[in-house]
Amino acid sequence: MRKNDFYRPRKKPTWRWLRPLLKLALWLFITGVLFILGSFVYYAKDLPSLSQLNERQINESTKIFDRTGKVILYDIHGEEKRTIVNSNQIPDNAKYAAVAAEDANFYNHIGVDPRGILRAALYDIIGRKISQGGSTITQQFIKKAVLSDDRTWARKIKELVLALELERRYSKNEILTLYLNQVPYGSNTYGIEAAAQTFFSKSAKDLTLAESAILAALPQAPSRLSPYGSHLDELKTRQEYILNRLTELGYISKPDADAAKKEPLKFAVAAHGIKAPHFVMYIKEYIENKYGRDAVETQGLKVYTTLDWDLQQAAEQIISDGAKANQKKYGASNAALAAADPKTGQILAMVGSADYFDTANDGNFNVTTSDRQPGSSFKPFAYATAFTKGFTPDTVLFDTPTEFNPNCPADANQDKDQYGLDCYHPGDYDDKFRGPLIAREALAQSLNIPSVQMLYLAGINDTIKTAKDMGITSLNENYYGLSLVLGGGEVKLLDEVAAYGVFANEGVKNDKTSILKIEDKSGDILETPEPPSLAPTPLYIFRTAPWPPKPAPPKNIATPGRLATRLL
């Protein structure tokens, strides 16, 4: 055997190929470290002193005007209400509630929470919402007190560096105190002391656990969750979430959390530096959703609304007097009113309750934008739908005892069918029956039995579609029956006022609007209303339905026999 038979060429070791890659990685790591250190050195010099951190520049406020531009309805942040307090004047429950709501890992991180940043980035990519963002309390304070909300890499790097440096210079308790003296709570209120005084008429040191959780809930959405707004149910839900988090994090016991959830909340009466308060809160929520809360607080916007101040004052007086009369007659303590111009869709007046500042009777709740049963005011939508199907104002209906459940006797004298379901034979308030009459007379007298007949002829689903086409935004369930025409479904008063405008405008719909224009502080126009749609709906048929009725014979007759056959 030859010697060469045992020879094999030697392979070069794999590590020789890895050496250049390792060198490149090392250089990149060193460069990254030097960049980070350089950024830290460069931006750390800008860290303000403690006295500077306690001061925040007052920015230009946003003003909301009536339609003339002469009446200021509300001046948002025209005056910052703030009282600086020391750490020992803030109860531990208030501190822990803020941590539970905004930064559960506050006492463990170094000013920046990588896990929170990654979690927020991931959820942002996949389009999901989370209860906490990626910014720590330290970062939030730096952004609000020192920097801005600019979405630039320079601002973000500076925020990270200053947060790390702030954590190095100050204790966790000092940082949390700075944050609680800086954070906005809504209603022109900054800092926990001013918030406690504004919403509970007490000092921060006297806050209960339940009240502390309420205040901790507000910075997430100060306008939407305002105790003086229309979303008190969401505020309560947020409070209970924070109390649950306090329990999970070990700051309070479950019995304490349960007791706090049951504690009645008594909010202070709001200051009356606001005109047309329900309307203003409606506008404020809109502009904050569109432009952002920070822009509304700092950019000096001028919002010219559609509100007619003279009509608004008259509406407020009418509702106040009407509510008092209703209280005496029926024991009802509230009322609401909305008015709009059908030719333009502009909201002219909005009164959401008898007294916005009467929180004991839910005065700050806006009934005009809330779902409520409309009663007989829903009847015209059924008639309108029927008219588009060939029925006319002269169609004969029958105001006679009628059973609408086919499993019940036709004499309408039974309460349940053989399956235990309710029979349905509505009547009128006076328990009288008027016999055959034409549709226009039935609607003019708001008679119930003919209206239910008309809804059956028009069709429930088609009637709901007509209502939605005219401006109703609710009625999204699938369980509605013939009682719908008598108010068996909930609608918003503001929607129904806009929908009735289609009747007044001879079938032409104008979407409701509350803004004439919005300007920035330089006078540049940011927003004006969209041009109204002038395309008539099929409801132009109302132009051919004159009053009083003509003596000519009816074109369509819905006889009891025909109606019974169709019901079966």
Active site members: 102, 376
Residue 235 and residue 416: Cα distance in Å, rounded? 43
Asked if residues 415 and 422 have their Cβ atoms less than 8 Å apart, the reply is yes
Distance of CA 226 to the CA centre of its chain: 11
Q: Which pair of structure tokens corresponds to residue 448?
A: 């119930």
Residue written as token pair 């306090």 = 246
Residue written as token pair 């919402």 = 129
Read off the amino acid at residue 160: L
Residue 71 and residue 65: Cα distance in Å, rounded? 6
Which residue, 431, 433, 432, 411, is CA-closest to 423?
A: 411
Residue 106 and residue 251: Cα distance in Å, rounded? 13
Asked if residues 181 and 192 have their Cβ atoms less than 8 Å apart, the reply is yes
Asked if residues 365 and 230 have their Cβ atoms less than 8 Å apart, the reply is yes
Question: With b meaning 16 or more CB within 10 Å and e meaning fewer, what string describes 80-115?
Answer: bbbbebeeeebbebbbbbbbbbbbbebeebebbbee
Residue 97 and residue 105: Cα distance in Å, rounded? 13
